[in-house]
Amino acid sequence: MKPMQLAGPIAAASTFPDEVGRIAATLQSVADHLELRIREMETLDRITTLINDGLLLEDVLEKVYESFRGVIPYNRISFSLIEGDRVFAKWVKSDLPTVKLLVGYSADLEGSSLQDIIETGKPRIINDVGAYYRYKPDSKSTRLIFEEGIRSSLTCPLTNNGTAVGFMFFSSVARNAYTPDHVATFLRIASQLSTIVDRGRMMSEIASRGAAIEEQNRELARLNETKDRFLGMAAHDLRNPVSIVLMAAEYLAACAVDEEHRIFVEDIVQQARYMLELINDLLDVSQIESGALELYRQEVDLYEFLSLEVKRHRQLAKGKGTTVEFTPSEGGLVQADPARLRQVVDNLISNAVKYSPPGSNVRVSVHELSPGWKIQVQDEGPGVNSADRERLFSYFGKLSNRPTGGEASTGLGMAISRRIVEAHGGEIGQDPAPGGGSIFWFTLP
């Protein structure tokens, strides 16, 4: 901006009487003052724009330090926050060789000179820190900045929505560094600066919490990995002993000398089978969660595969009087791991038998999609309510409905089935069946 010049008759005021000259001088002084204020406003506008570009609190304060020097003198700037009834130093930057009042320093707000600043809402000037320290020798903060070499300070309150949030401290090694003009300059942008600083503080808190959550997540992942490893080892160590117990119990059941003995041993057989099923499920969970689930894909004829599965389950369901039917309308070839595919179909059919009343029908079907295939298992059970549907495919997702024949359930089969189907690139789900019951289905590409 070019300096303001008064032209025409006023510029030649020296040729006029003294009164006109004084008017001209006054007008020139006003022009100079306006020019100074305009330059100051432009500077402050640039400063607030620059500061507003900062996102986190430290970014904002760094920009304050970089840009304020043109309007307020300082060798050191610090920022403190009010937390409860204390004031905490959160940030400091100085061009001096020694900084003694460091981040983390705190002091009581009540009864301090800072409380007076909060109550008046006006910045405070101390133009002789040495004299102030002699007046208040118990002030630790004054002693520390005096030992740094600070001789003048300007303390400015920061408020947001009428509430005091903290302070900005400008400090200089020169005595008498600050004037009411510096106070006025700060007050012109105090509201904007307070809002920007408070926004930066909140963003920093969010970032800090995010970092803490990430660290907690890493620790949880590590603990989960340890748990999976331990679970896998424990299940592996248990499988052989339980298998031996099951074989021995089955042998004893076959050799039972009387009905009471047979019933007793059959109970052992059922419990051992349940334990072995649980152990195998836990081993599967350990594999899945550790990312070690491997699929050995080969060509599988769905018609032939499902026919064999239905035939096997038909025998198992006889004891409950339940009929398992296969109603193929189509059949085709898929690339799948037959052992894992059998695991999914076993879970769906056995669950349908478990949760259906004795004497009901379970229907298995397969339908061609475009592309892929959809396998369905329909039962005549009580269906699945909305609350149960949320946990249907989660680990240990026990349902409110219980097996109708008192059968045991590990609560892992459906969750494992979901992971296996998804590993094949398919989906799994449940729909209500017309007239009651459920249709469990899964797709294969």
The 10s digit of each residue's pLDDT in 291-341 is: 767 888 999 999 899 998 888 888 777 777 888 889 876 678 889 988 889
Confidence of residue 131 (pLDDT cuts 50, 70, 90): very high
Q: Which amino acid is at 364?
A: V
Torsion of the alpha carbons at 237, 240, 241 and 244, rounded to the nearest 10 = 180
Work out the burial of residue 406: count CB atoms within 10 Å of its CB; fewer than 13 is exposed, 13-18 middle, 19 or more buried: exposed
Work out the burial of residue 240: count CB atoms within 10 Å of its CB; fewer than 13 is exposed, 13-18 middle, 19 or more buried: exposed
Instruction: At 32, give phi and psi (nearest 5°).
Output: -65, -40
CA distance 388 to 384: 6
Query: What tokens does 209 get?
Result: 């919490």
Confidence of residue 13 (pLDDT cuts 50, 70, 90): very low
- The rounded mean pLDDT for the chain is 79
CA distance 376 to 234: 35
Q: Which amino acid is at 318?
A: K
Write out the H or E segment, with its range, that includes residue 307.
helix 302-317
CA distance 221 to 10: 81
Task: Give the per-residue pLDDT at 427.
Answer: 92
Q: Which residue has the higher pLDDT, 259 or 177?
A: 177
Torsion of the alpha carbons at 239, 243, 421 and 424, rounded to the nearest 10 = 80
Query: What tokens does 235 get?
Result: 């299940």
Confidence of residue 412 (pLDDT cuts 50, 70, 90): confident
Please calculate the CA angle 85-88-94 and round it to the nearest 5 degrees.
Answer: 155
CA distance 281 to 292: 14
Largest distance between two CA atoms of the chain: 141
pTM: 0.48
